[in-house]
Amino acid sequence: MNLQNNYPIILASGSPRRKQLLEQIDLEFEVIPSSVHEDFTIDLSPTEFVEYYAKEKAKHVAQSHPDKWVIGADTVVVFDAEILGKPKDRDDSFQMLKRLSGNTHQVYTGVSIQHINLGLKKTFHAVTNVTFNTLNDNDIYYYIDTYKPFDKAGSYGIQDWFSVYVKKIDGCFYNVMGFPLALFYANFSALIPVEDKG
């Protein structure tokens, strides 16, 4: 089925990984990053957190583009009931990876699809369990200094060199990259008006 239909699409995210994933499924879209930023002091569960910020990001862009589909997304890493966002600096990055070493954590991604003029919107989330092998300090610093994972939740990218330390994944791989493709496709397909489905 053609997801493109008769309405233009906006990705309300500057993430190069989300852009790559949407291009992977032949979606045509423009990128207009939302200026909404997460407040990690907010008292929400991981599920509520990622869905709330996915909705806010999509809504922020959709208000200026009511005639277009807008896709917002938010990804966090959760370990020991604590939400981990993007690292603030090199030391924060090291501490995050040290905590995740040899353990299993969860990656949550919230996605919100909104079209104001059609009055259509849907927000959902995916969760993936990721288990790391034990990391040594030298490799952690090598990774941080070489790949500079400061724009990544949990301070790592599963698609780059860090993959050598990923022992096991339970759930959607693409969710760990920041966008659960299969779940998105199913939800977006269900939103599209019947007469527009190709």
pLDDT per position as a tens digit, 25-72: 999 999 999 999 889 889 999 999 999 999 999 999 999 999 999 999
Average pLDDT, the chain: 93
Is beta strand 9-11 parallel, antiparallel or unpaired with respect to 30-31? parallel
In angstroms, the CA 20 to CA 186 distance is 19
Percent of the chain, pLDDT > 90? 86
The C-alpha R_g of the chain, in whole angstroms, comes to 17
**Domain residue ranges of the chain, discontinuous segments joined by +:** 9-196
Distance CA(183)–CA(106), nearest Å, equals 17
Question: How far apart, in whole angstroms, are the C-alpha atoms of residue 19 and residue 29?
Answer: 9
Read off the pLDDT of residues 74-103 as tens digits, 9 standing for 90 and up: 999 999 989 988 899 999 999 999 999 999
pTM across the whole model: 0.92
Cβ(86)–Cβ(53) below 8 Å: no
Q: Which residue has the tokens 């790592």?
A: 156
By the 8 A CB rule, do 124 and 111 touch? yes
> Known catalytic residue: 170?
no
Instruction: Tell the residue number behind the tokens 């060199």, with chain if given.
Output: 161
Residue 177 gets the label, from left (phi > 0), alpha (psi -120 to 50) or beta, of alpha
**Side chain identity, residue 117:** N
In 3-state terms, what secondary structure has residue 169? Answer: strand
> For 23, phi and psi rounded to 5 degrees?
-65, -30
pLDDT one-digit tens code per residue, 176-186: 999 999 999 99
9-196 CATH fold = Maf protein (3.90.950)
Is the model's pLDDT at 194 over the cut of 80? no
Per-residue pLDDT of 155-179, as tens digits, reads: 999 999 999 999 999 999 999 999 9
Cβ count near 67 (within 10 Å): 11
Pick the catalytic residue from 74, 80, 89, 145: 74
Q: Which helix (H) or strand (E) holds 30?
A: strand 30-31
DSSP 58-123: HHHHHTT-TTSEEEEEEEEEEETTEEE-S-SSHHHHHHHHHHHTTSEEEEEEEEEEEETTTTEEEE
